[in-house]
Structure 1
């Protein structure tokens, strides 16, 4: 879409377009009254497949609802030449000619007005309001000599890191963290207020690191202080031996989590009750359901997690191949070459029911005795940033090796099939991939990061080079970082 806005909106803005748009928002998007919510529940189904989910969109030119995920609304737009549709969950306007969601000031104003009306009808206050600069603030922004214009070719944020001696494991994780959108916004807005007495706060160092990355300087940065603080707070990583990037990620998040303070000013010691920026972005909830095979009683526990570790074919852990071409793989657009394994396959295996067997009986609260049971893991809460760890390094008493099985992973992943409840479509987008080249004894880490939409770069310590999407998707993959496409306020 051009900076001037979508040129195809003018075709919709005829006759009573404002009133028509208001009716759509009132009845099928925000639905403030109980009556309109009932109407939406009954009416809003795909006119092609009859589904309620799959990101329903409504054509703005005619009364037609269809799936966005399965591209039914795309087929309608192509056949009828109706170029605009509205997302019935979030209210965004999509242009099929621009192939993107668009912004139009008049349409946005109508959407806001109708949303406020719906909130008022439901007794909900406007908890989060959009910041709009005043005339004075706009004037200051215009005359700011340090003001930078961000374009599609902008390289601000791209900066190499000097390898200080087998520290590629640290450099690759730093690149992934500094390109995590919400983490970047947090640190660049100077939100961290440090109360530590000594100069050993890792959060302060990360804040300084973000300033260095987004300063516009192009020379490689030397992260010597970061390395020193990591050695200080995570002593098992101290020294110049080769370390595991996944282990460093978890250690770094743990230290950052401990050094952060929540909104109430209390130390973030309890991972289950924390409002620090690390937990807000990276912490999800893993639901474990244990079902008694006798009375079918279910015992549920929910544990926090920062990453999901996935078994791979070729490991000593039994891996049952899942049939290609299922709903998840087709939807997620993963290549299913002969014998190839996909990320969706790994997630299906991770969330499939597992029979615990007679050697692992659990006392059933319903039967009041030890019974055989099945256990199933699902996602209770999907974190804003989901990190998938492909378990390529196998360590056992008899075996130490690297598993090089190729795993196909998509740019866009639908996590809905793996959620404990499937109320909304949970789409996540790939923004960073950490790779390991070499063997278990000797290797090197690099990172692919997404700078802008469809613009990828390879970070190899101090060297930053442009990469294609094919380069990213063809890579082996060790740590995969995905970001939620839509953020929801709780």
Structure 2
């Protein structure tokens, strides 16, 4: 019944972002493996200074020792045993959302602090051993959006979005949209100096799988069906001009006028200079 309810609650969000994780625990006494699957919409990654996204993902799937007060109850041994635990991805989503944990609670400060650590993330990402038995062709991803946090702390600041549109990168800052150079993405990695006041840091990363991108491209390339010609009975004669010499309806003129204004506005916007974040 619960599985049926969960299936009914699926939305387009799940079809895009949902993947499946496998939580594997291996008993060190009998070597039996207990696994449990759980779905996810994003992965939260711990970060370290001057590291890379690939290193963060390897740490995410690194084995954890369960011993002492944290022993694992093995159903085969029917007792608490030392064990090894790790996470692996069983099914990758069409869009992989990665959350860099840049806000950490500091005991000595008794508050959260922003970590402006430098974490380099690539434009092309290939998922390694963390993906388990996922086919090789489904492991390749490309970066298409970055949510950037601008500010020095978690309680204040601003968010902007960098989004790839075809061959260009756009910066969405509230109602302002500007074209930015691809090299500007590198400025969002963070700072390799712990004392540096780097405020513009990548916070959420969105990668689209190459497989889903190729499927989408193939769908867009399919030729459209030509419109059917109207039958003679469906053809209507053109309306006669009004006595004043104007067209029978002025609504089309208003629409064309508003379109001209929109085109003019777009032309002005296209002429503006792109700003950096």
TM-score (norm 2): 0.66
Q: 1:417: Cα distance to partner? A: 2.4
Q: Does 1:282 align with 2:17?
A: yes
RMSD: 2.2
User: How does 1:11-30 map onto structure 2 within 5 Å?
Assistant: none
Partner of 1:352: 62
Provide the secondary structure at the position in 2 that maps to 1:401: strand
Q: Take 1:269 and 1:460, find their aligned partners in 2: how far apart are those partners?
A: 39
Q: 1:367: Cα distance to partner? A: 1.2
User: How does 1:424-443 map onto structure 2 within 5 Å?
Assistant: 424-425=136-137, 426-438=139-151, 439-443=153-157
Q: Is 2:48–2:119's contact at 8 Å kept on the other side of the alignment?
A: no
Q: 1:399: Cα distance to partner? A: 3.4
In structure 2, list runs of 5 or more residues that go unmatched.
189-200, 216-277
Partner of 1:461: 174
Name the count of aligned residue pairs: 196
Partner of 1:49: none
Alignment match of 1:483 (pick from 208, 221, 241): 208
Q: Take 2:73 and 2:40, find their aligned partners in 1: how far apart are those partners?
A: 26
**Relative contact order, CA 8 A, sep 6+: which one is greater?**
2
- Offset from partner CA, 1:180-215 (integer Å, 9 cap, x none): xxxxxxxxxxxxxxxxxxxxxxxxxxxxxxxxxxxx
Q: Take 1:483 and 1:312, find their aligned partners in 2: how far apart are those partners?
A: 22
Q: Does 1:421 align with 2:133?
A: yes
Provide the secondary structure at the position in 1 that maps to 2:154: coil
Alignment match of 2:99 (pick from 377, 389, 400): 389
Provide the secondary structure at the position in 2 that maps to 1:383: coil
Larger radius of gyration between Structure 1 and Structure 2: 2
Q: Is 1:287–1:420's contact at 8 Å kept on the other side of the alignment?
A: no
Q: Does 1:400 align with 2:135?
A: no
Q: Take 2:186 and 2:38, find their aligned partners in 1: how far apart are those partners?
A: 31
The change in CA–CA distance for 1:427 and 1:284 in structure 2 (over 3 A counts) is same
Higher strand share: 2
Q: 1:422: Cα distance to partner? A: 4.3
Provide the secondary structure at the position in 2 that maps to 1:486: helix
Q: Does 1:470 align with 2:183?
A: yes
User: How does 1:177-188 map onto structure 2 within 5 Å?
Assistant: none
Provide the secondary structure at the position in 2 that maps to 1:421: coil
4+ runs of 1 displaced by more than 3 Å?
A: 272-275
Partner of 1:304: 39
Partner of 1:244: none
User: How does 1:137-286 map onto structure 2 within 5 Å?
Assistant: 269-270=5-6, 275-286=10-21
Q: Take 2:156 and 2:121, find their aligned partners in 1: how far apart are those partners?
A: 25
Alignment match of 2:163 (pick from 449, 455, 461): 449
Q: 1:442: Cα distance to partner? A: 1.7
Provide the secondary structure at the position in 2 that maps to 1:294: coil
The change in CA–CA distance for 1:269 and 1:420 in structure 2 (over 3 A counts) is same
Higher helix share: 1
Q: Take 2:10 and 2:122, find their aligned partners in 1: how far apart are those partners?
A: 31
- Offset from partner CA, 1:93-125 (integer Å, 9 cap, x none): xxxxxxxxxxxxxxxxxxxxxxxxxxxxxxxxx
- Offset from partner CA, 1:387-418 (integer Å, 9 cap, x none): 00000111366331101001100011001422
Provide the secondary structure at the position in 2 that maps to 1:405: coil
Q: Is 1:416–1:424's contact at 8 Å kept on the other side of the alignment?
A: no
